[in-house]
Amino acid sequence: MLRKGLLDIFETALNRRTVFTTGVNFREVTDRKEMLKSLPVADEGTAGEKSIDVDSLIQGRGDRFPNSQIDSKRFDGVLFKDLPIINIRVSPNNTIINLTNAKGLPEIIRSCGIEGFKNTRKGTNVAAQATAITIGTKIIERGTKTARVRVQGMGPGRMSAIKGLQMAGINIVSITDNTRVSWYPPRPRKQRKL
C-alpha cells in the first residue's frame, strides 16, 4: 500500500507542469485606455522621424537652391562670386582645410597633422573638427565672416569639418561637393583558379 501511494505521488509529479511567470504578468488590466495611459509618452526617439513634404518645401522657399542670378546676390555686403572659398580635402587618413580668395589663390592652410594629431588619429572626425575650429578662428581674425565651402573626397571628417567651421562662427553661404567620380572604375579581380 505504501508502495502504491508513492507511485501515485510520483506519477502526479511527472504529469504536473511547472510554469514560471513574473509578477508583471499577473497585473490586471481592466480597460485598454487605462493601459495606454500608463505607458510612457512616445518621444521622437521611439516614434521615429517626422516626414516632410519636400515638394511643398521647394515651392515655399525658392531661394534655397542656386539659380542663374546667384552671382549678383550679396551676402553681408559682398557679392557671391567675390566670397572667399574654404576648401576641405577629406581622405580616410587626413583632412586638409585651406582658405582661398574668390580667384582661387590660397591664403591659409591647416591640416590635422599640423594640428598635432599623428598617425591614425589624423583621419578621425574629432581631428577634422578641431582643425576646422582653429582655421575658422584664424579666418575670423583676418576679418572674413562669410564664406563658401567646397568639400572634396570621402572620409570620416566631411560633416565634422563643416560643423567645426560653424562652431568657429563662420557664416556658410553654400556647400559644394567636388568629389571626383571615376568614369573608368578599377578592373575587377581576376577569377580564382581552383
Q: How far apart are CA 39 and CA 42, in angstroms?
A: 9
For 144-169, the pLDDT digits (tens) are 899 999 999 998 888 999 999 999 99
Phi first, then psi: give them for residue 89, nearest 5 degrees.
-105, 110
Q: How far apart are CA 163 and CA 131, in angstroms?
A: 11
The percentage of the chain sitting over the pLDDT mark of 70, rounded to a whole number, equals 68
Domains (range + CATH), the chain: 70-177 (3.30.420.80)
Reduced to 3 states (helix: H, G, I; strand: E, B; else coil), residue 194 is coil
Q: Residue with C-alpha cell 512616445? A: 42
For 75-110, the pLDDT digits (tens) are 888 888 889 999 999 999 999 999 999 888 999 999
Residue 176 host element (H or E): strand 171-177
CB 96 within 8 A of CB 158: no
